Amino acid sequence: MSTPATADTGTTAPPRPAELEAWVGLLRAHAAATRRFNRELMASHGLTINDFEVLMHLASADDGRLRRVDLAERVLLTASGITRLLDGLERSKLVCKASCAADARVTYAEITPRGRALLSAARESHVEGVRALFAERFSPEELQELTGLLERLPLAPQADVCPGADAAC
Amino acid sequence: MSTPATADTGTTAPPRPAELEAWVGLLRAHAAATRRFNRELMASHGLTINDFEVLMHLASADDGRLRRVDLAERVLLTASGITRLLDGLERSKLVCKASCAADARVTYAEITPRGRALLSAARESHVEGVRALFAERFSPEELQELTGLLERLPLAPQADVCPGADAAC
DNA sequence: GTGAGATACTTGAGGGAGCAATCAGACTCG
DNA sequence: CGAGTCTGATTGCTCCCTCAAGTATCTCAC
């Protein structure tokens, strides 16, 4: 420290805009909740949160199958992330591959009976855990508010892809 | 499951409690925002979001130093996570170690001048990015609401450690 | 002062996921 | 048809972070 004398806290970080507060709140909330649920899920069923989300989406899709691309979009993972995640689920026989007659490029991920069984077991405890954590802290109205607010954030990916082109999209 | 005939979407996942909605909203919001900011920060300054947070906390602490434990608590990382993160920052000479006269177990992490310089450069673009993303989507009142709601979540860590003991804490 | 227990930190092993590059199949247009 | 482009998926490389152990230190009771 070359100029330690006036190194008082206030000088360096005075504004701290409200947007930042919200952002670090989001970070902390996610970190805390995520770690907790991940541990619980992993301990009781050997699943990560994303595994669980993916199984949920598959289970509630027509025929229990989804293209990998669509899956990626739903859980907000990269294509490669999905591939690796599904690798794991396939190894555990919770999902299987299925090919598409109409388009040879696509591989469906399809939930197996075993996957459904595990999901419904996991759902019980996990969903209850989630519900408990949130219900403990928020009223139904607050939950709605929170959900409504959070839903506005993920619209970002578009802005990411075409920074210059306005009308192009 | 074994009775696939009636496998219509609604049958399998009817309730979908409000708590769950909020939770996946949080997951998605975090995933989207995090990836975006991480990429920006990494591209422009070679920092991850956590690197940035840590530098922020150090910069605004007395003497620009903090115990690793306290740092961990602030950014909600594991002790080992902090160690590795600081490894990286030390390698880049953005922080350095300092020992504590009173307690030989603790190692302070102290931000270097170089760290402060990089931080203030990064702060400009990163904070602006955050502000833009949030300001674009939320009114000042909504921001406050959101912040207030999110702040209630991370109180969990305690409940994690002492599940049975109520009064003990 | 010695031993039990808490606390601060580090390390080894392993898993999750992102980016960039690559490949294969599909689509478009001359 | 054949070249060029897009799109879905996979792989190599790399990073971040967690858990489980391990080490060093401090604290306190006896």
Query: pLDDT tens, A106-134?
Result: 999 999 999 999 999 999 889 999 999 99
Query: Band of the pLDDT at A158, cuts 50, 70, 90?
Result: very low
- CATH number for A29-131 (one of 3.40.1390.30, 1.10.10.10, 3.90.1150.10, 3.90.1200.10): it is 1.10.10.10
Write the CA distances from A1 to B37, B61, B116, integer angstroms.
Answer: 29, 13, 10
Residue A65's DSSP bridge partners are A110
The mean predicted confidence, pLDDT, of chain B is: 84
Query: Band of the pLDDT at B144, cuts 50, 70, 90?
Result: very high
Query: Band of the pLDDT at B4, cuts 50, 70, 90?
Result: very low
Distance, CA of B50 to CA of B122 (rounded, Å): 13
**Per mean pLDDT, which range of B6-10, B22-26, B141-145 is the poorest?**
B6-10
Fold classification of B34-137 is Arc Repressor Mutant, subunit A (1.10.10)
Query: pLDDT tens, B11-34?
Result: 444 567 888 999 999 999 999 999
Q: What is the nearest nucleotide to B76, using C1' and CA?
A: D17
What is the amino acid identity at position B117?
A
Handedness of CA A81, A33, B153, A59 (dihedral sign): positive
Query: pLDDT tens, B32-76?
Result: 999 999 999 999 999 999 999 999 999 999 899 999 999 999 999
Write the CA distances from B91 to A5, B95, B98, B115, B138, integer angstroms.
Answer: 27, 8, 15, 12, 39
Residue A95's DSSP bridge partners are A111
Query: Band of the pLDDT at A18, cuts 50, 70, 90?
Result: confident
Query: Strand D: which nucleotides have any atom within 7 A of a protein Cβ?
Result: 7-12, 15-21, 24-27
Distance, CA of B143 to CA of B160 (rounded, Å): 29
Q: What is the pLDDT of residue B18?
A: 87
Average pLDDT, integer, range B139-148 = 93
Q: What is the pLDDT of residue B169?
A: 31
Of A56, A144, A153, the CB nearest to B18: A144
Query: Band of the pLDDT at B130, cuts 50, 70, 90?
Result: very high
Which stretches does DSSP call E strand in chain B? 65-67, 95-99, 107-111
Look up the pTM and report it: 0.82
CA–CA–CA angle B153, B158, B164 (5° rounding): 125
Q: Which residues of B touch A12 (CB under 8 A)?
A: 59-60, 116
Q: What is the pLDDT of residue A91?
A: 93
Average pLDDT, integer, range B70-83 = 94
Q: Which residues of A touch B14 (CB under 8 A)?
A: none
Query: Band of the pLDDT at B2, cuts 50, 70, 90?
Result: very low
Contact B110, B95 (CB under 8 A): yes
Taking the CA of residue A53 and the C1' sugar atom of nucleotide C6, their distance in angstroms comes to: 39
Measure A20 CA to nearest chain B CA, in Å.
Answer: 7
